[in-house]
Amino acid sequence: MNFEERIRCDRIKNKVMSAEEAASLIKDGMTIGTSGFVTGGPKAVPLAIAERYKNEKIKLNLYTGAIVGDELDGAFAREGLVDKRIPYQTNKDMRNAINNGSVKFIDMHLSHMPQQIRYGFLGKIDFAIIEATAITEDGNIIPTMSVGNSPTFVSTADKVIVEINTSQPIELEGMHDIYEPKDPPYREPIPITKVSDRIGVPYIPCDSDKIAAVVFSDMKDTTLQLTSINETSKKISDYLIDFLQTEIKRGRLPKTFLPLQSGVGNVANAVLAGFIELKYNNLNLYSEVIQDAVLDLIDADKIEKVSGTALTLSEEGLKRFYANINKYKEKIILRPQEISNNPEVIRRLGVISINTAIEVDIYGNVNSTHILGTKMMNGIGGSADFTRNAYISIFATPSTAKDDNISCIVPMVSHVDHTEHDVMVVVTEQGLADLRGLSPKERAMMIIKNCAHPDYKDALMNYYERSIKKHGAVQTPNLLDEAFLWHTRCLNTGNMKI
Amino acid sequence: MNFEERIRCDRIKNKVMSAEEAASLIKDGMTIGTSGFVTGGPKAVPLAIAERYKNEKIKLNLYTGAIVGDELDGAFAREGLVDKRIPYQTNKDMRNAINNGSVKFIDMHLSHMPQQIRYGFLGKIDFAIIEATAITEDGNIIPTMSVGNSPTFVSTADKVIVEINTSQPIELEGMHDIYEPKDPPYREPIPITKVSDRIGVPYIPCDSDKIAAVVFSDMKDTTLQLTSINETSKKISDYLIDFLQTEIKRGRLPKTFLPLQSGVGNVANAVLAGFIELKYNNLNLYSEVIQDAVLDLIDADKIEKVSGTALTLSEEGLKRFYANINKYKEKIILRPQEISNNPEVIRRLGVISINTAIEVDIYGNVNSTHILGTKMMNGIGGSADFTRNAYISIFATPSTAKDDNISCIVPMVSHVDHTEHDVMVVVTEQGLADLRGLSPKERAMMIIKNCAHPDYKDALMNYYERSIKKHGAVQTPNLLDEAFLWHTRCLNTGNMKI
Ligand SMILES: CC(C)(COP(=O)(O)OP(=O)(O)OC[C@H]1O[C@@H](n2cnc3c(N)ncnc32)[C@H](O)[C@@H]1OP(=O)(O)O)[C@@H](O)C(=O)NCCC(=O)NCCS
Ligand SMILES: CC(C)(COP(=O)(O)OP(=O)(O)OC[C@H]1O[C@@H](n2cnc3c(N)ncnc32)[C@H](O)[C@@H]1OP(=O)(O)O)[C@@H](O)C(=O)NCCC(=O)NCCS
């Protein structure tokens, strides 16, 4: 490791300390804002904080980009250190703490969070804890595999702790494009008109006086486990690609295609993988996360440019990325989530959004966050930033969960995250429903017919028909006294079927 | 009437005809896109269409800006002429037709509609029917009291019928600012950085060859009835203004204030009227509709600039406006609804949005559209365009409806138009709940305590507490089997109380 290359700012060389020493700066009641968006979160410092305070049970507010590793969410949750948690998580122990009431979780649109921090709506950030590749001559911070909310945490925090991760290659430098908008009434248009536009600087600006500690670490991110593409994902991908091709033929999508966004997980990865077969060789992605399939597309020379806020690769993907870093770097721009998820840019570029739903109802409302109406799964993440502003907004889900005991198409979703006004296309392994320009009753027919699993089709139609019998052909036929009967049955028996 | 001043384009003088002749151009199965956003809709031509086809019962798709007069929605609905209706309406007969299934109503975000028309998602527009003040030398159209979707209807329609309304003063010319964005991948930033920025031309560009008919009329818009400000509205307004003042004191709103948006109706008007008392004299509005209170604010010299897509004045307001048209015109810009409601501009300017809810639930989800879960009221309109992108998003509603028989604060809203992720402040005549940075359970306590009517407070708390007893302190405690019990009781007895 070349120390000089990792800390280039002389003024802060005396701030190098152990993770334990840095952890002692954190005090009860503080709000900490950390880097991390699946990848790129600090690890050594959080573990040291958890260790130091495990018997004292202090309370901290934990703000991140999105998902952070077990070193942060898991360790903090297990030690009971968290009061407020914003904005997204997937850790088992953190999720339990949220659903037993010990952690207050605020489930926010990812693009809303940084501006609400600057506006002062979420309190003061005491410490930003940021994983870095290096610190520049002026004290600016070069992030690692994600950007997330780090620019705003750094610009608003009282003090900054930098965790330099020497397991990250120095070549990451130059991949990031950091731009923080001014606040109203001084905000200017965000000057991105093409996915490839760089509008900022390749580091997170940081006043070196703010840096309270620099800690060296070489801990690796926990990588995502991508299962090989299964039959369900493949069918969903096939329906979707066929749909998009037809849209081009019908002249409703430009022949050159439009930038794609695709969410986290296997289905999303499978859909992108499907593009390998196609003839496009100038694909652009304007996305939040960048998964393995993107490397395949780059290798197959299909990609013009990929913009996101995080590289979220599998173990195997990561190896490929490191082995050919300069080639991939040329194609990739990592931006703050305020920019990757920005409504202004998403609508301007005409992004086609593909996200995963927990459940969808017959009128096209989508639940992305709650299991059976009450328990938090992960959070809304950026799904609504993209969905509301997409050129075409798509939700994909298998038609059932838990060995067909749960239908993901239901009479009424038990929590609404995306309304009927926002959802254009629903696709399952059964088929695709194009809801554009359809009234609710037309949507119901199409979703039941095209997307529902055969085990649930008749029951859905029965609900719909009895709703009309009771209320007439109103705008949105529903039986309010049994809208959630399937969910309550499932709560009692583990099965939505009678 | 000076004919030459109203039609300045020689090429189309031979297109002048009667409303009846123009009506005969419209054929079964056509889609017509009309001007009109509360005000400014065509009147003579629609009445002639309704008259001509009353026995033939042809079917048309009717697309408008938003609300149109009884000459259009009422007459068409009564004659059964409408197949598909987009995007917003308030007419009694149209509403009945929607809720008995004879009209297919697509309830869309107002800012989504014009781009979805250009993208080809809503079919082809056969005829645009546009109310005008005058036609320019080149055939371009000067609108009247609203802009709405007219630019997109004109640019995409096969043919255009212009209804020149001679009851509208020629001085309206110059008040409009027409800008239609290009579509992806060619769209550019919308260059508005201040409410007062003019970015387009003062007329709707129109190829004169497209003009199939010019009809003269002098029919007046039905004006809105504003009741005098009642005690409930006054209390809501007081709570809101106190809240906004406190935000400035706490440094969370700029001292110079930010642009306001306020919805249609009495509460919205009362809130704006409340600003008369304040010391600001550079208020800006970036809104959809412009109501009477704005004239008061202009008269009191409190206004820098007002931007909207429609002037929606009462009878009395309209008289005042005409009497002093040049003074008011200087302060007002009317834009296409794609621009007045544009997420990009709303977020950039930091608009404070104030809209009215039908009902709000204890977690902050808002229903703006459905009565008791099934029947369409008006539509979502622009409320979500503003809410999602606002600097502070506010929903106001009286705490009860129908002589206290209905609580507007409920355990779970019977339809979700604005999710818990989007709603920052809820205010009723009982008080105000500031939900920013609160988790769902904290929100529930605050909404029940501050906003619910005393008649319903205990029952709401009881629902909340029993939900926790059943499921534990999960993210969002709910009893799915009785979430809508109040609504079904009301359907049966007309009353939500036991
Ligand atoms: C919705 C979301 C949870 C789906 O995740 P996923 O991993 O793709 O989906 P899976 O099908 O593997 O389902 C995840 C789990 O939920 C369960 N599940 C899925 N649908 C369910 C339903 N309707 N009811 C109950 N459980 C359900 C699955 O069985 C699975 O359980 P397991 O972990 O015990 O096996 C995830 O995409 C998400 O958090 N989305 C919101 C944020 C977002 O969209 N981010 C991307 C934006 S840019
Ligand atoms: C929500 C909305 C319907 C409220 O309208 P309003 O005229 O301000 O509200 P009111 O309190 O006068 O209520 C209107 C009617 O609904 C009834 N109502 C209100 N709340 C109700 C409830 N919870 N359940 C049943 N009926 C209810 C009222 O009693 C009243 O009935 P009436 O016409 O028979 O007297 C209206 O603001 C709307 O359409 N909003 C959506 C679009 C929008 O926000 N546009 C502005 C965006 S820029």
Summarised one tens digit per residue, pLDDT across range B205-228 is 999 999 999 999 999 998 777 677
Compute φ and ψ for B90, nearest 5 degrees.
-140, 10
According to DSSP, the β-strands at A366-367 and A359-361 are antiparallel
Residue B1: per-residue pLDDT: 65
d(CA A153, CA A160): 9
Residue A349: per-residue pLDDT: 98
Catalytic residue among B71, B180, B247, B288: B288
Confirm if B272 and B291 have CB atoms less than 8 A apart. yes
The tens digit of pLDDT for each residue in A33-88 reads 999 999 999 999 999 999 999 999 899 999 999 999 999 999 999 999 999 999 99
Q: How confident is the model at residue B311 (pLDDT cuts 50, 70, 90)?
A: very high
Calculate the average pLDDT of chain B. 96
d(CA A290, CA A260): 11
Residue A12: per-residue pLDDT: 95
Cβ <8 Å between A344 and B349: no
CB-CB neighbours of B45 under 10 Å: 30
| Chain A residue whose CA is closest to B101 | A473
Structure tokens at A7: 């800390």
Partners of B132 in beta bridges: B164
- In B, which residues are within 8 Å of A376 by CB distance? 474-476
Distance A132 CA to ligand 1 centre (A): 31
Residue showing tokens 């280039």: A8
Å between A319 CA and nearest CA of chain B = 34
Task: Classify the complex by whether its ipTM is higher than 0.90, answering yes or no.
Answer: yes
Residues 299-358 of B with CB under 8 A from A: 343-344, 347-350
Residue B51: per-residue pLDDT: 97
Cβ <8 Å between B193 and A193: no
**Residue among A98, A230, A264 to mutate when testing ligand 1 (max atoms within 8 A of CB):** A264
d(CA B265, CA B383): 13
Q: What is the mean pLDDT of residues A466-473?
A: 98
d(CA B392, CA B423): 9
The tens digit of pLDDT for each residue in B342-368 reads 999 999 999 999 999 999 999 999 999
Element (H, E) at A45: helix A44-52
Does the pLDDT at position A1 exceed 70?
no
Residue showing tokens 């320019």: B136
Å between A62 CA and nearest CA of chain B = 13
d(CA B84, CA B82): 6
Where does residue B78 rank: exposed (0-12), middle (13-18), buried (19+ CB within 10 A)?
Answer: middle
Distance A357 CA to ligand 1 centre (A): 7
Which residues lie below 8 Å from residue B99, measured CB to CB, with a gap of 6+? A472, A473, A474, A475, B375, B376
Alpha helices in A214-341 (DSSP H): 231-249, 266-274, 292-299, 315-323, 325-331, 337-340
Q: What is the mean pLDDT of residues B421-448?
A: 98
Burial call A364-377: b when 16+ CB within 10 Å, e when fewer: bbbbbbbbbbbbbb
Which residue CA neighbors atom 24 of ligand 2 most closely?
B371
Residue B306: per-residue pLDDT: 98
CB-ligand 1 contact for A408 (6 Å cutoff): yes
Q: Which atom of ligand 2 is nearest to the CA of B407?
A: 23
d(CA A297, CA A302): 5
d(CA A188, CA A173): 27
Element (H, E) at A156: helix A150-156
Query: A123 in contact with B at a CB cutoff of 8 Å?
Result: yes
Structure tokens at A152: 């705003």
Residue of B311, B158, B134 whose CA lies nearest to B216:
B134
Query: A453 in contact with B at a CB cutoff of 8 Å?
Result: no
Residue B269: per-residue pLDDT: 83
Element (H, E) at B318: helix B315-323
Which residue CA neighbors atom 25 of ligand 2 most closely?
B371
Residue of B69, B105, B65, B56 whose CA lies nearest to B84:
B105
Residue of A182, A310, A104 whose CA lies nearest to B475:
A104
The tens digit of pLDDT for each residue in B82-127 reads 999 999 999 999 999 999 999 999 999 999 999 999 999 999 999 9
Residues 231-250 of B with CB under 8 A from A: 250
What percent of chain A has pLDDT above 70?
100
CB-ligand 1 contact for A264 (6 Å cutoff): yes
Q: Name the DSSP class of B208.
A: G
Which residue CA neighbors atom 21 of ligand 1 most closely?
A358
Taking CA atoms, B39 is separated from A59, B74, B221, B293, in Å, by 56, 15, 6, 17
Does the pLDDT at position A271 exceed 90?
no
d(CA A296, CA A300): 6
| Chain A residue whose CA is closest to B376 | A475
Q: Give catalytic status of residue A288 as yes or no.
A: yes
Residue B498: per-residue pLDDT: 82
What percent of chain A has pLDDT above 90?
93
Q: What is the SS3 assignment for B235-276?
A: HHHHHHHHHHHHHHHCCCCCCCCCCEEECCCHHHHHHHHHHH
Residue of B377, B299, B307 whose CA lies nearest to B94:
B377
d(CA B41, CA B71): 9
- In A, which residues are within 8 Å of B191 by CB distance? 189
Helix (H, G, I), strand (E, B) or coil at B206: coil
Structure tokens at B8: 């300045």
Question: E strands of B268-331, at which residues?
Answer: 283-286, 289-290, 303-308, 310-311
Distance A216 CA to ligand 1 centre (A): 35
| Amino acid code (one letter) for A325 | I
Catalytic residue among A163, A247, A288, A338: A288
Q: How confident is the model at residue A310 (pLDDT cuts 50, 70, 90)?
A: very high
Does the pLDDT at position B157 exceed 90?
yes
The tens digit of pLDDT for each residue in B24-72 reads 999 999 999 999 999 999 999 999 999 999 999 899 999 999 999 999 9
The tens digit of pLDDT for each residue in A311-364 reads 999 999 999 999 999 999 999 999 999 999 999 999 999 999 999 999 999 999
d(CA B469, CA B467): 5
What percent of chain B has pLDDT above 70?
100
Residue of B12, B70, B36, B227 whose CA lies nearest to B149:
B36
